[in-house]
Structure 1
Amino acid sequence: MNPKQERRVIAQIIEELTLFLLFHGYTEFRIDFQSDEKQEIYVIDVPHMREELIKRIQTQIDQPREEAFEQTYFELLGELDSKEDLDLLGIFIDELVVKHTEDSVTLTLIRKK
């Protein structure tokens, strides 16, 4: 992908995560983004996330990255208006790490360059 498309993918991934949380009734969360020459890191902190939603996110995102399909599917990110939107997101993510604390859940999504 060219640099302009890469920036659009980053914005669409953030939008996808935001829409997913809003659709599921979360009105308090934080999304941090970091990028360097090796990877992009998306960190999402959600207070009191329901366990069934955590498992669903893991199932939908924690799948093999499909770089060959990225060019085709990146335009679909953020365009769907349903609770199932994270199905496409797994195509773009290399690794998902879930960390539980007493009062929140931190999801770290890593996308290698």
Structure 2
Amino acid sequence: MKHLRQRNISLLSEFTSYLVNLGCDDIHIDFKTKDDAITLNFSAINSELTEKNITKLTSLLNTPRRQDIEEYYWELNGNENFYSELSLIGMMIDEAEVSYVDNVLNVSLIRLKS
């Protein structure tokens, strides 16, 4: 249970850092724990995102979950290489949804507990 909490904290921290470094303002985070899943919802304002940024973000976050990789590398987040961090986040979650409408970036990350 302790490692699960630490991994969730790592996901929250790393994705929030990514948004701040991307130049997002007015970041809102919603963290929900249910019996079978954890959902992290991020909403942030950024008027400078391009379609290329959104495509890359979506692609990296939708990297298939790799529990074997997660077990060994989740503590390595924070190395200032944002694309590798996003890829690692993608390997730690089961589903990601990304939308960007009217300068508002919405990202939902879902991590199944099983």
Please indicate the TM-score interval, normalised by the length of the shorter structure. 0.7 to 0.9
Identify the residue that residue 11 of structure 2 maps to in structure 1.
13
Q: TM-score, normalised by structure 1?
A: 0.86
Counterpart CA distance in 2 for 1:103 and 1:72 is: 36
Q: Is the 8 A contact 1:31 1:45 kept in 2?
A: yes
Count, aligned residues: 110
Counterpart CA distance in 2 for 1:70 and 1:22 is: 24
Identify the residue that residue 44 of structure 1 maps to in structure 2.
42
Amino acid at match of 2:15: L
Deviation at 1:45, TM superposition (A): 0.6
Equivalent residue of 1:91, what SS?
helix
5+ residue gaps, structure 1: none
Identity %: 25
Name the one with the larger helix percent.
2
| Counterpart mapping for 1:17-28 below 5 A | 17-28=15-26
Amino acid at match of 2:73: Y
Counterpart CA distance in 1 for 2:96 and 2:31 is: 14
Identify the residue that residue 60 of structure 1 maps to in structure 2.
60
Q: TM-score, normalised by structure 2?
A: 0.86
Equivalent residue of 1:96, what SS?
strand
RMSD: 1.6
1:32 aligns with 2:30: yes
Identify the residue that residue 80 of structure 2 maps to in structure 1.
81
Q: Is the 8 A contact 1:35 1:41 kept in 2?
A: yes
